[in-house]
Amino acid sequence: MYATRHTLHDAHHLGWDNSLRPVLTVAPGSTIEFRCIDASGGQLDADSTARDVAALDFSRVNPVTGPVFIDGAEPGDALAVRIESFRPSGIGWTANIPGFGLLADRFTEPAIATWRYEPSMQQPAMFGRHARVPLKPFTGVIGNAPAAPGQHSVVPPRRVGGNLDIRDLSPGTVIYLPIEVPGALFSVGDTHAAQGDGEICGTAIESGMDVALHFDLIKDAQLETPRLVIPGPVTRHLDGEGYEVTTGIGPDLFEGARAAVMRMVDHLAATRGMDPVDAYMLMSVCGDLRISEIVDAPNWVVSFYFPRIVFA
């Protein structure tokens, strides 16, 4: 008989690889508490500086906890993962990493914002002297091992999940993940205290924390890509004071997204006296990129929503 509740605290790996030996085997219906370390693999913390960002060893980034073998899971099935709870560490970081992020050509120097917040997450986290960011913990990386042999980077998302960075992978959400290998070989990591949709600078409030997940198995689901069921409102923590919105308009969605973000960076720098790179990092943890219109050819509209509550 399998136990129905487990802990997994010291089993981290780098990269998806279906040849990795599972560190735990559980039955459907089990709950596991995973200890997730931050996306830098412990290289950055609340005392780090831009010099530490410049010295990052990228071979150590995005560690995940696992893999877990789900008994009875076969290719073609889906793993249903319900996110139950988080136990945050209370410290985190947000960085501009040269060569990474939506505006990497504009922000070429390393920069970092560090965070100390209440682990209860009942109070916003202070962003220097400028802002107070409401918190909403979630897991950025969540997925199963791919069928393709060898080791694969955790950085890009995949049809079996991975680095999805969907802000609403928060308590109560259920995510359904395609299974490509026997046992699924599930792993999780890259926990965040807060992030805006788009994660525009490439980092959120990167913060180690424990996450409890419940597993069920859907046989022969034939799911093409991940699917989510979210139990309630997704922006209630940000909506209270409304939004400032900039737009990008043109025939290329990616360039439209860049334009909308650049215009908000410039707006916050001009109206709030912020250093542009600080505005960029703040936007990454609390602002949302949205496709507002994609049917009126030849031009589409991308909007960037910045929540006014952070300055309230």
Cis peptide bond prior to 298, omega within 30° of 0: yes
Query: What is the homologous superfamily of the domain 5-229 according to CATH?
Result: Acetamidase/Formamidase-like domains (2.60.120.580)
Tokens of 7: 């802990």
Is 292 within 8 Å of 303 (Cβ atoms)?
yes
Cα three-residue angle 244-109-58, rounded to 5 degrees = 105
Residues across the chain = 312
- The DSSP bridge pattern shows strands 31-36 and 5-8 to be parallel
Cα–Cα distance measured from residue 69 to residue 106, given in angstroms and rounded to the nearest whole number: 44
Tens of each residue's pLDDT in the chain, 312 residues:
456 889 999 899 999 999 999 999 999 999 999 999 999 999 999 999 999 999 999 999 999 999 999 999 999 999 999 999 999 999 999 999 999 999 999 999 999 999 999 999 999 999 988 799 999 999 999 999 999 999 999 999 999 999 999 999 999 999 999 999 999 999 999 999 999 999 999 999 999 999 999 999 999 999 999 999 999 999 999 999 999 999 999 999 999 999 999 999 999 999 999 999 999 999 999 999 999 999 999 999 999 999 999 999
Is 260 within 8 Å of 247 (Cβ atoms)?
yes
Predicted confidence at residue 1, as pLDDT, reads: 47
Q: What is the DSSP string of the chain?
A: ---SEEEE-S-EESSB-TTSPPSEEE-TT-EEEEEE--TTSSS--TT--HHHHHT--GGG-S-EEEEEEETT--TT-EEEEEEEEEEE-SEEEEEE-TT-STTTTT--S-EEEEEE--TT--SPEEETTTEEE----EEEEEEE--SSSS-B-SSS-BTTEEE---TT-STT-EEEEE--STT--EEEEEEES---TT-TTS---B--EEEEEEEEEETT---SS-EEE--S-SSTTTGGG-EEEEEEEES-HHHHHHHHHHHHHHHHHHHH---HHHHHHHHHHH-EEEEEE-SSTT-EEEEEEEEGGGG-
Q: Which residues contact 90 (CB under 8 A, 6 or more apart)?
A: 116, 117, 118, 119, 207
Q: Does domain 239-311 have CATH number 3.20.20.10?
A: no
Upper half-sphere CA count for residue 156 (Cβ side, 13 Å): 6
CA distances from 51 to 111, 127, 138 (A): 8, 20, 28
Cα–chain center distance at 168? 9
Is 93 within 8 Å of 50 (Cβ atoms)?
no
* Domain locations in the chain as residue ranges: 5-229, 239-311
Cα–Cα distance measured from residue 88 to residue 136, given in angstroms and rounded to the nearest whole number: 11
Cα–Cα distance measured from residue 42 to residue 294, given in angstroms and rounded to the nearest whole number: 41
Predicted confidence at residue 53, as pLDDT, reads: 98
Predicted confidence at residue 4, as pLDDT, reads: 86
Is 94 within 8 Å of 205 (Cβ atoms)?
yes
Confidence (pTM): 0.96
